[in-house]
Copies of this chain bind each other. A is one copy, B any other.
Amino acid sequence: MSAGAGDETLAGFRASIDDIDASLVTLLGERFTITRQVGIHKARVGLPAADPEREAEQIVRLREVAASVGLDPSFSEKLLRLVFAEVRREHELARRDDATAADG
């Protein structure tokens, strides 16, 4: 059994954290639905998949949002870089699937 079982104050905090985490993951799901559309759009119009300048702007902006809500900006940057890496991984997978389909 988890330490603190039976502690109602702790249970209340944990319920709120669980709600937030579910919202975070759901929002991330929406984010990736959009980045997949971006990947398709960029391939269609012939834009490069990666855009380092746009990524740099996003990092600066989110570091500011982080500071304004009491988060360590370096922490938000680390998270965002993990998200970027996952977007790139997905784009590469999608490209590989396209190439396989074209071969088939």
Contact = CB atoms under 8 A, between A and B. Distances in A.
B20 A24 contact: no
A31 B1 CA distance: 24
B82 A79 contact: yes
Interface in A16-75: 16-18, 20-35, 37-38, 41-42, 45, 47-48, 51, 53-54, 57-58, 61-62, 65-66, 69-72, 75
Main secondary structure of the interface of A (DSSP, over half): helix
Contact count band on A: 35 or more
Interface of A: 1-4, 7, 9-10, 13-14, 16-18, 20-35, 37-38, 41-42, 45, 47-48, 51, 53-54, 57-58, 61-62, 65-66, 69-72, 75-76, 78-80, 82-83, 86
Contact of A78 (B1, B24, B82): B82
